[in-house]
Amino acid sequence: MKKEIKVDLDDKSYPILIENGILSECGSFLRRITAAQKIALLSAPAVYKAWGRELLKGLARKRFQPELILISDGEKNKDEKALSRILKRLASLGFQRDGCLVALGGGVIGDVAGLAASLYMRGIDLVQCPTTLLAQVDASIGGKTAIDFAGIKNLIGTFHQPKGVLIDPQVLGTLDNRQFKTGLAEVIKYGIIQDEALFAQFEKRPELILRRDPQILFRLISTSCEIKARIVSQDEREGGKRAWLNYGHTLGHALEAYFHYGVLTHGEAVAYGMWFAGLLSCRLRLCPEIVLRRQIAVLKRMGLLRKLPNFSPEEIYKKMFLDKKARKGRIQFILTRKIGLVTIQKNIAQPIILSALTQLRAEASERC
């Protein structure tokens, strides 16, 4: 199983290559996508320990001798200290404009690597080798880079497209279950916004998905990457369609912040956000109740609806306004028309949102 997908952005276009075991063959891919002579490999200790050797083997086959930069990952390390460490190492290693940074890790490593690559000498080449499901289907594609700053998630960032994305689904073998499921939330999201057949996989083959069957995993990853690549190609800077990708994220981000990023994973928070978006869609008569029920059933089956701790609808409402994506003080919601089709809604009255939040709080604590 092998698939190559193009992110079509004129002179910034790049390939996403998905193949089991491709890490140990990565040298040829790199020779194809970058002319860089000097390479720095950025990773986190645990990821490097698990998969670094495979990647180095692949690079050595094409006579690359990368310098190694290790930093801690996890959201609490996505900060200016990590960025500064990378930039200092690149400087001390004498990297020039023709250098290339290869990121081997989850979304945190990918986002910080992207920011460092976009800043160093006004931009060097970047190659993403994502190792979490979330990074494979989402964070590594589309060129958004960031660190958290002044207590605000992703406050400092740039757009810097990679030269290529190399996805080896095999690396997910060492990923823990909760991290794996958090990535599944994004795949479910792609199904709801664009692709009913993708969504239906979760209804028809939940066991296989949870068992990480290689064939179905390959299908989920490649279809998700195709959808993200298509949307990014049409709207690089989020003026229009790219906002669809925020389905479930308006409430999801607010819940993550409300619980200080410790209680729910990103995917779990987004799962409740998708439930809430479905609820609002029904209340606004954009879709029939069955569309909401199907979403809740799949999210539950995938173990994404863990216990939602009590929250204040008013406080959450305030947090949603703080979201970077609240445009001119109005919250923008992506809502469902049917599975596979969403719509953007900007003017939803506060009482409707508060009452849907209250309903979610009651039903979520009852159900899970």
Ligand X SMILES: NC(=O)c1ccc[n+]([C@@H]2O[C@H](COP(=O)([O-])OP(=O)(O)OC[C@H]3O[C@@H](n4cnc5c(N)ncnc54)[C@H](O)[C@@H]3O)[C@@H](O)[C@H]2O)c1
| Shortest Å, Cβ 49 to ligand X | 9
Query: Taking the complex as a whole, how short is the minimal distance between the CB of residue 140 and ligand X, in angstroms?
Result: 8
Distance from C-alpha of 39 to C-alpha of 313, rounded to nearest angstrom:
49
The Cα 349–Cα 328 span in angstroms is 15
Q: Which is nearer to ligand X, 90 or 108 (CB)?
A: 108
Please answer whether residues 306 and 268 qualify as being in contact, where contact means their C-beta atoms are separated by less than 8 angstroms. Answer: yes
* Closer residue to ligand X, CB minimum distance, 52 or 296: 52
Helix, strand, or coil (residue 273): helix
Query: Which are the catalytic amino acids?
Result: 122, 144, 186, 228, 238, 242, 246, 249, 253, 266
DSSP states along 169-198:
GGGGGGS-HHHHHHHHHHHHHHHHHH-HHH
Cβ-closest residue to ligand X? Answer: 107
Q: Distance between CA atoms of 350 and 313, rounded to whole angstroms?
A: 11
Burial class (CB in 10 A: 0-12, 13-18, 19+), 35: exposed
| CA distances for 91 relative to 88, 96, 333, angstroms | 5, 8, 43
Binding-site ranges for ligand X (CB under 6 A): 44, 46-47, 50, 73-75, 78, 105-109, 111, 131-132, 134-135, 138-139, 142, 144, 154, 171, 174-175, 179, 182, 266
Closest approach of ligand X to the CB of residue 141, in Å: 7
Two tokens, residue 244 = 């669809």
d(CA 3, CA 167): 10
Kindly tell me which of 154 and 233 has the beta carbon lying closer to ligand X: 154
Minimum distance, C-beta of residue 358 to ligand X, in the bound complex (Å)? 28
What is the smallest separation between the CB atom of 367 and ligand X, expressed in angstroms? 25
CB-nearer residue toward ligand X: 146 or 360: 146
Give 133 or 296: the residue with its C-beta nearer to ligand X. 133
